[in-house]
């Protein structure tokens, strides 16, 4: 096959939930879009994560973005024409003992300024509302509007909606080289096809650093694998997503039940992930720790069986904040990657914000703290052109 | 030199002979087995307080069963034997165990040599109605009889293809059960055509003929070239009959209260997958199998594969393969192994492979049925997903690969993790796409190999 050349207003590299949502929102702003994905849409971190649509517990600086995203989740499925099983079931952070209640209170007070309403529960009131909690659970912070969705469906659904709206989506297309060639960016795939556009958005998760490095913007991006599991289905009763706030990783578990009946869980220590091999593993000892910890949260879970565990490839940055916004060095280049295991809820909002930024040159949602410039020294554009 | 740590998974024909060979070399292997007793599926030992004779239990294979059990009994004290233990996961150089004898305990074992002798289970093609109570796999029907001396129903139809179809039907007849009919989807002509390859093992072919004769003499009809239409019944009362089309094209109905079905066997390959062995597509059996050399080496150093868990060649070949894998592992780890011993075993395996290919030809997996299944047919019984739902994710959501179709449709996401629906699901996808089955790929194995209970006591390593 002869190598072909494709042209659009924007090239997006990486078809996770960030890239798929960005493609969708760019089309709504009338921009022509090429979305390039090495494998299939939403296969990596976007498809293997826990499925939390949670605002509470995030750094306050992330809440405006999380709120914008929640507003999009709340418009599903009408907005994209497909159900991704978003359920605003409520989300509860719990702690063992009462040591962390002051921290919960402090967070709740500050979060109110960001329109995140949290209800604090402890003692008899907590047991009455959530009788399944174990005796070690001492308090909870409840967010009524948060919930969960199905990560296996979300990114592909945004991708299909983008395609229906006219985006050109190329799956199984691995980009090997990116450069800015005069006014246009050029991405070259392994099959020799080239893609040209005056704007580029890199949403390639754990693989983004290989691309940003080609523009002189190397960051310390590290891959880890979430440690997920799911039980056999049992009658639907635990409607609230539950996550532990604890001083150690080992205790930081979370779970949710889906109407089908299965209980999905994750947390504890992370597992090994190998972006170059496209493999990530669940450590068996992590699974056993999860079983132990989950019984602390809800003793009734001890009756159940785990039927499957899985992992994926997530990317982390040293300060636990993502990289999002314009390049520090190259005009027209944008990034949204490295969401540190907490990107799923943000995905639709990130897509919307990046589309706004690329289409208008600015965004109404504050994202300055996530700029790549915190890791990369800006250079004059003349030096890189 | 420190002795290598040897772990053998499975105490069937391959695992027992493998353990025996390591013990003969002066080593002490650990044998892990899910069963209460050794023998695997084919030579399953009845509970100690049951008194049926070897001849009654194993028929023509009584001698081989008794020999295998006796060999295993002689290994007591010379190996670590962990029955009722599930190897639920493998990480680099370590196998993770769940002990189900009394209090559930979790533990793990490091290995230098791992031999997977994991055997096989039934291979299933859905038929409308196969989700009704009273539908069993051939293997399950045989376990009920061998282990507990019970039949799966009062009036039983045997449906499918492969040697196990005739073997289990004859065992039921011998035990006094009412067998309504044996319905073989393979055509007689195919079975004639496979004869040259089947002649590679004349004694086994002869035993097969004897089985057929015993079934006929009992007055049980054997129909070949049958196409199942549906299993009649309902969710409340279960199976009530089987509707099928004869080779001549006539629709017929049989009344029964149980169906034992299966289409030869599929290798239990999850542990090989978790051990990160490479797989390739085996055209003869239309299934993905771990890559293995004739001596049992997988693609991963230190991991060896033997028996029906890697190639469905039957019990005799499994005994050889278990020995071969042990000798090969010993040689690979610097132990002296008489080359003629290996050469003899390799020579004996040649007709076994011919016979395997003959069986695949005589009793082919009915891939073509998948395309014809009505949309309402349940494919994944664990999750209750129909052929129509699976086809929809292929046609409407662009899922062209088995794992993608699983992610979108849930086929293969339930308790069995696709062990029973995976092959049929792949055929439905391939038929919907009109593409070669190998292009659909295979479901990646994810731990646990079987459901893992929460309430376990962890042992300190």
> Is B455 domain-assigned?
no
Output the 3-class SS for chain B.
CCCCCEEEECCCHHHHHHHHHHHHCCCCCEEECCCCCCCCCCCCCCCCCCCCCHHHHHHHHHHHHHHHHHHHHHHECCEEEECCEEEEEEECCEEEEEECCCCCEEEEEECCEEEECCCEEECCCCCCCCCCCCEEEHHHHHHHHHHHCCCCCCEEEEEEECHHHHHHHHHHHHCCCEEEEEEECCCHHHHHHCHHHHCCCHHHHHHHHHHHHHHHHCCCCEEECCEEEEEEEECCCEEEEEEEECCCCCEEEEECCEEEEEECEEECCHHHHHCCCCEEEECCCCEEEECCCCCCECCCCCEEECHHHCCCCCHHHHHHHHHHHHHHHHHHCCCCCCHHHHHHHHHHHHHHHHHHHHHHHHCCCCCHHHHHCCCCCEEECCCCEEHHHHHHHHHCCCCCCHHHHHHHHCCCCCCCCCCCCHHHHHHHHHHHHCCCHHHHCCCCCCCCCCCEECCCEECCC
Residue B253 contacts A where some CB pair is shorter than 8 Å: no
Q: Are residues B426 and B397 in the same domain?
A: yes
Asked if residue B310 and residue B298 are part of one domain, the reply reads yes
Q: pLDDT class for A380, splitting at 50, 70, 90?
A: low
Dihedral angle over CA of B210, B213, B217, B220, nearest 10: 120
Residues B212 and B293 in one domain: no
Q: Residue B170: which CATH number?
A: 3.50.50.60
Average pLDDT of the residues in B274-288: 96
> Does residue B83 belong to any structural domain of this protein?
yes
Percent of chain A with pLDDT over 90: 96
Q: Which one of B401, B446, B451 has the shortest CB-CB distance to A232? A: B451
Task: Confirm whether B457 is domain-assigned.
Answer: no
- Say if B449 falls within a structural domain: no
Contacts of A304 in chain B (CB under 8 A): 453-454
Interface of B with A in 302-361 (CB under 8 A): none
Same structural domain, B215 and B86: no
Question: Residue B456 has what pLDDT?
Answer: 86
The answer to whether B227 and B369 have CB atoms below 8 angstroms apart is yes
**Residues B41, B13 share a domain:** yes
Work out how many domains chain B is built from and give that number.
Answer: 3
Which is higher by pLDDT, A276 or B148?
A276
Q: What is the mean pLDDT of chain B?
A: 95
Average pLDDT over every residue of B397-414? 96
> Does B30 share its domain with B161?
no
Nearest to A152 among B96, B401, B407 (CB): B407
Q: Considering CB atoms only, which of A156, A294, A301 is closest to B397?
A: A156
Q: Is B456 on the interface with A (CB under 8 A)?
A: yes
Q: How far away is chain B from the Cα of A184, in angstroms, using its nearest Cα?
A: 32
Show residues of chain B in contact with A307, CB under 8 Å: 414-415, 417, 448, 451-452
CATH number at residue B378: 1.10.10
Query: A5-48+152-222+318-384: which CATH topology?
Result: FAD/NAD(P)-binding domain (3.50.50)
Q: Is the pLDDT confidence value at A382 over 50?
A: no
pLDDT in tens, B49-82: 888 899 988 888 999 999 999 999 999 999 999 9
Q: How far is B96 from chain A (nearest CA, A)?
A: 7
Strands B135-137 and B258-263: parallel
Residue A51 pLDDT greater than 60, yes or no: yes
pLDDT at A2: 60
Domain identity same for B129 and B240: yes
Predicted confidence at residue A379, as pLDDT, reads 65
8 Å CB contact of B415 and A291: no
What is the DSSP code (8-state) at residue A87? B
Q: How far is Cα A51 from Cα A13, in angstroms, rounded to an integer?
A: 23
Of B233, B263, B293, the residue that ends a domain is: B263
Would the CB atoms of B408 and A287 count as touching at under 8 Å?
A: no
Asked if A275 and A225 touch (Cβ cutoff 8 Å), the reply is no
CATH code 3.50.50.60 region(s) in chain A: 5-48+152-222+318-384
Which homologous superfamily does the CATH classification assign to the domain defined by A89-145+225-312? D-Amino Acid Oxidase, subunit A, domain 2 (3.30.9.10)
Same domain for B144 and B91, yes or no, is no
Judged by CB atoms within 8 Å, which residues 81-140 of B form the interface with A?
88-89, 91, 94, 96, 106, 108
pLDDT of residue B189: 95
* pLDDT for residue B101 is more than 90: no
- Among residues B238, B263, B288, the one where a domain terminates is B263
Please give the pLDDT value at position A383.
45
CATH 3.30.9.10 segments of chain A: 89-145+225-312
- Same domain, residue pair B271 and B254: no
Predicted pLDDT at A161:
98
**Domain span at B303:** 6-121+266-359
Residue B19 maps to a domain: yes
Tell me the per-residue pLDDT of A222-253, one tens digit each, with 9 for 90 and over.
999 999 999 999 999 999 999 999 999 999 99
pTM beyond 0.90: the answer is yes
Please determine, for the modelled complex, whether the ipTM score is greater than 0.95: no
Question: Given a cut of 50, is residue B146 above it in pLDDT?
Answer: yes
Determine, for residues B407 and A47 on separate chains, whether the beta-carbon distance falls below 8 Å: yes
Residues of chain A that touch chain B, judged by Cβ-Cβ distance less than 8 Å? 40, 47, 152-153, 156, 160, 231-232, 281-284, 287-288, 291-292, 294-295, 301-310
What is the average pLDDT across A283-300?
Answer: 96
């Amino acid at each position: 096959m002869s190598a072909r050349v494709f042209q659009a207003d924007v090239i997006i590299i990486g078809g996770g939930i960030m890239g798929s949502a960005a493609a969708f929102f760019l089309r709504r702003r009338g921009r022509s879009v090429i979305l390039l994905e090495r494998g299939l849409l939403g296969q990596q971190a976007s498809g293997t994560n826990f499925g939390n649509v949670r605002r509470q517990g995030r750094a306050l600086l992330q809440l405006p973005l999380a709120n914008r995203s929640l507003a999009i989740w709340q418009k599903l499925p009408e907005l994209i024409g497909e159900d991704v099983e978003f359920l605003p079931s409520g989300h509860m952070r719990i702690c063992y003992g009462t040591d962390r209640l002051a921290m919960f209170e402090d967070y709740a007070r500050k979060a109110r300024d960001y329109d995140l309403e949290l209800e604090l529960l402890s003692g008899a009131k907590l047991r009455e509302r959530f009788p399944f909690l174990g005796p070690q659970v001492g308090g909870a912070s409840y967010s009524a509007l948060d919930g969960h969705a199905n990560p296996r469906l979300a990114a592909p659904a945004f991708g299909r909606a983008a395609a229906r709206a006219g985006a050109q989506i190329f799956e199984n297309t691995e980009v090997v080289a990116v450069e800015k060639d005069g006014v246009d960016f050029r991405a070259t795939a392994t099959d020799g096809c080239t893609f040209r556009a005056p704007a580029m958005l890199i949403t390639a998760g754990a693989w983004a650093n290989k691309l940003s490095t080609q523009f002189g913007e190397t960051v310390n991006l590290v891959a880890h694998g979430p440690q997920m599991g799911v039980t056999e289905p049992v009658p639907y009763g635990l409607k609230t997503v539950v996550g532990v706030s604890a001083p150690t990783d080992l205790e930081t578990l979370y779970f949710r039940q889906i109407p089908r009946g299965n209980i999905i869980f994750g947390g504890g220590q992370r597992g090994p992930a190998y972006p170059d091999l496209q493999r990530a593993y669940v450590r068996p000892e992590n699974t056993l720790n999860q079983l132990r910890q989950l019984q602390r949260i809800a003793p009734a879970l001890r009756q159940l069986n785990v039927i499957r565990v899985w992992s994926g490839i997530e990317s982390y940055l040293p300060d636990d904040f993502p990289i999002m916004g314009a390049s520090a060095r190259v005009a027209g280049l944008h990034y949204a990657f490295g969401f540190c295991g907490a990107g799923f809820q943000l995905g639709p909002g990130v897509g919307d914000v990046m589309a706004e930024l690329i289409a208008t040159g600015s965004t109404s949602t504050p994202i300055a703290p996530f700029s790549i410039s915190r890791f990369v020294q800006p250079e004059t554009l003349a030096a890189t052109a | 030199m420190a002795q290598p740590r040897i772990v053998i998974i499975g105490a069937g024909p391959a695992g027992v002979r493998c353990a025996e060979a390591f013990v003969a070399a002066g080593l002490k292997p650990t044998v892990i087995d899910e069963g209460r007793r050794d023998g695997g599926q084919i030579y399953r030992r009845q509970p100690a307080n049951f008194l049926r004779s070897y001849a009654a239990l194993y028929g023509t294979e009584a001698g081989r069963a008794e020999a295998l059990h006796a060999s295993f009994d002689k290994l007591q004290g010379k190996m670590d034997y962990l029955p009722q233990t599930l190897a639920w996961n493998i990480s680099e150089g370590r196998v993770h165990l769940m002990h189900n004898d009394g209090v559930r305990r979790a533990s793990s074992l490091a290995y230098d040599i791992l031999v997977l002798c994991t055997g096989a289970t039934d291979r299933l093609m859905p038929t409308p109605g196969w989700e009704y109570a009273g539908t069993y796999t051939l293997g399950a029907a045989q376990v009920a009889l061998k282990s507990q001396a019970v039949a799966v129903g009062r009036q039983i139809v045997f449906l499918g293809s492969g040697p196990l179809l005739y073997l289990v039907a004859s065992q039921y007849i011998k035990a006094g059960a009412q067998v309504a009919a044996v319905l073989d989807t393979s055509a007689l002509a195919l079975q004639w055509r496979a004869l040259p390859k089947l002649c590679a093992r004349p004694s086994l072919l002869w035993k097969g003929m004897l089985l057929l004769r015993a079934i006929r003499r009992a007055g049980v009809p054997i129909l070949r070239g049958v196409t199942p239409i549906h299993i009649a019944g309902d969710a409340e009362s279960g199976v009530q009959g089987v509707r099928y089309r004869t080779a001549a094209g006539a629709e017929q109905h049989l009344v029964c209260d149980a169906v034992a079905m299966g289409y030869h066997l599929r290798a239990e390959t999850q542990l090989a997958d978790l051990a990160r062995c490479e797989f390739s597509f085996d055209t003869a059996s239309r299934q993905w199998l771990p890559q293995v050399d004739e001596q049992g080496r997988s693609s991963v150093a230190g991991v060896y594969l033997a028996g029906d868990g890697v190639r469905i060649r039957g019990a005799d070949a499994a005994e050889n393969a278990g020995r071969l894998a042990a000798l090969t592992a010993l040689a690979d780890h610097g132990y002296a192994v008489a080359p003629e011993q290996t050469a003899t075993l390799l020579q004996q395996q040649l007709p076994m492979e011919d016979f395997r290919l003959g069986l695949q030809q005589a009793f082919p997996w009915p891939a073509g049925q998948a395309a014809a299944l009505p949309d309402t047919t349940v494919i994944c019984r664990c999750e209750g997903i129909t052929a129509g739902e699976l086809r929809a994710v292929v046609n409407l959501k662009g899922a062209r690969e088995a794992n993608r179709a699983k992610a979108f449709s849930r086929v293969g996401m339930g308790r069995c993790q696709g062990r029973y629906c995976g092959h049929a699901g792949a055929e439905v996808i391939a038929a919907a796409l009109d593409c070669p089955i190998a292009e659909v790929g295979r479901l990646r194995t994810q731990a646990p190999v079987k459901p893992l209970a929460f309430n376990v006591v962890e042992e300190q390593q």
